């Protein structure tokens, strides 16, 4: 687990992963994209693609959850060199947050300058509906053990990192402008992090509402924190797959999340491609 390792060991592990990936492709990605639950199909549209299973990359964590294929794909979309993570790992799978965010550091070392994070999430704001997309303006990380805990990796960033602009404002506005030009409804809001794997209780959702969250999910925040530490421009876009339990009597299940993600994928992919083209 990376949070408990010394920085020399972590740096060595990162470089081993970077060297392996570079041995498989000469393409230098400028944009990184992490695909959440049900969104992996965008990876099929990558041109000149080199597909590398996570399990082949030294020190890379492996997903255990349905909807996360576990491939790193390097190629081109909309004429831009990109590195796409087809799936991710989560804290609830037993990994610490240093391990969860290890791939972000690898992407930074590969040379990306912009990281786009996507996820499936539950709607907390009563003004949202399943099937809508939301660009993340800010997040609540109270339930997220810090991925920066432990030895500071000085080669990436300083010990104490300002998080007042965790999601790059210019990229938020780019997402809004792009969605409007495509006729796609795009909400703006605050993402609340939840450790999982349980979905939230009604009392917990009411607490999130009081704290200011518009959606809630089990990913993205650790990656955004490390992206900020690495000095990357960062955008987050959520697919609202269901409403939180206070709005329904049917409960929530993972199959529902995956199915809605697939249903919305057309607009989501169209939006992501247009954003990457504009970067």
pLDDT over 60 at 67, yes or no = no
CB under 8 Å to 227, separation ≥6 — which residues?
104, 108, 115, 117, 234
- Hey, which residues are catalytic here? 37, 68, 90, 92-93, 120, 218-219, 242, 254
d(CA 139, CA 20): 33
Q: Is the peptide bond before 202 cis (omega within 30 degrees of 0)?
A: no
Q: What is the pLDDT of residues 221-249, one digit of tens each?
A: 999 999 999 999 999 999 998 888 888 77
Q: In sequence order, what DSSP letters do the residues of 52-115 get, joined into one string?
A: EEGGGSTT-----STT---EEEEEEETTEEEEEEES---GGGT--HHHHTHHHHHHHHHT--EE
Which pTM was predicted? 0.94
pLDDT over 70 at 261, yes or no = no
Terminal Cα distance for the chain, rounded: 35
Q: What is the pLDDT of residue 264?
A: 79
Q: What is the pLDDT of residue 99?
A: 95
- Mean pLDDT across 118-130: 94
Q: What is the pLDDT of residues 165-212, one digit of tens each?
A: 999 999 999 999 999 999 999 999 999 999 999 999 999 999 999 999
Go through the domains of the chain in sequence order and give each one's CATH number.
Answer: 2-278 (3.40.50.1580)
pLDDT over 60 at 143, yes or no = yes
Q: What is the pLDDT of residue 2?
A: 77
pLDDT over 90 at 40, yes or no = no
Q: What is the pLDDT of residues 72-114, one digit of tens each?
A: 999 999 889 999 999 899 999 999 999 999 999 999 999 999 9
pLDDT over 60 at 16, yes or no = yes
User: Percent of the chain, pLDDT > 70?
Assistant: 94
* Residue 254 banded pLDDT, cuts 50, 70, 90: low
Q: What is the mean pLDDT of the chain?
A: 92
CA dihedral 93, 65, 166, 158 (to 10 degrees): 40
- Mean pLDDT across 257-276: 84
pLDDT over 80 at 24, yes or no = yes
State which of 43-47, 62-66, 78-82, 181-185 shows the largest mean pLDDT. Answer: 181-185
User: Percent of the chain, pLDDT > 90?
Assistant: 79
Task: Please give the radius of gyration of the chain, using alpha carbons only, rounded to the nearest integer.
Answer: 18
């Amino acid at each position: 687990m990376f949070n408990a390792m010394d920085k020399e060991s972590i740096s060595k592990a990162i470089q081993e992963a970077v060297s392996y990936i570079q041995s498989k492709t000469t393409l230098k990605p400028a944009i990184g994209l992490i695909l959440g639950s049900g969104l992996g199909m965008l990876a099929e549209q990558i041109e000149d693609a080199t597909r590398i299973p996570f399990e082949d990359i030294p020190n890379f964590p492996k997903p255990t959850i349905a909807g996360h294929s576990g491939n790193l794909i390097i190629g081109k979309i909309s004429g831009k060199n990109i590195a796409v993570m087809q799936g991710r790992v989560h804290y609830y799978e037993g990994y610490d947050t240093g391990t969860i965010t290890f791939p972000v550091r690898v992407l930074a070392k590969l040379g990306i300058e912009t990281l786009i994070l996507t996820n499936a999430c539950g709607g907390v704001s009563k003004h949202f509906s399943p099937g809508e997309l939301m660009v993340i303006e800010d997040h609540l990380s109270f339930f997220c053990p810090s991925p920066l805990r432990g030895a500071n990796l000085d080669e990436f960033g300083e010990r104490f990192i300002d998080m007042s602009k965790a999601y790059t404002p210019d990229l938020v506005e780019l997402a809004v402008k792009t969605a409007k030009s495509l006729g796609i409804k795009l909400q703006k809001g605050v993402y609340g992090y939840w450790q999982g794997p349980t979905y939230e209780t009604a009392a917990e959702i009411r607490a999130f509402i009081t704290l200011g969250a518009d959606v809630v999910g089990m990913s993205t925040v650790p990656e955004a924190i490390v992206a900020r530490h690495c000095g990357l421009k960062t955008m987050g876009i959520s697919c609202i797959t269901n409403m939180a339990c206070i709005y329904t009597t049917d409960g929530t299940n993972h199959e529902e999340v995956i199915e809605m993600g697939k249903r919305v994928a057309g607009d989501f992919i169209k939006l992501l491609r247009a954003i990457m083209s504009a970067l």
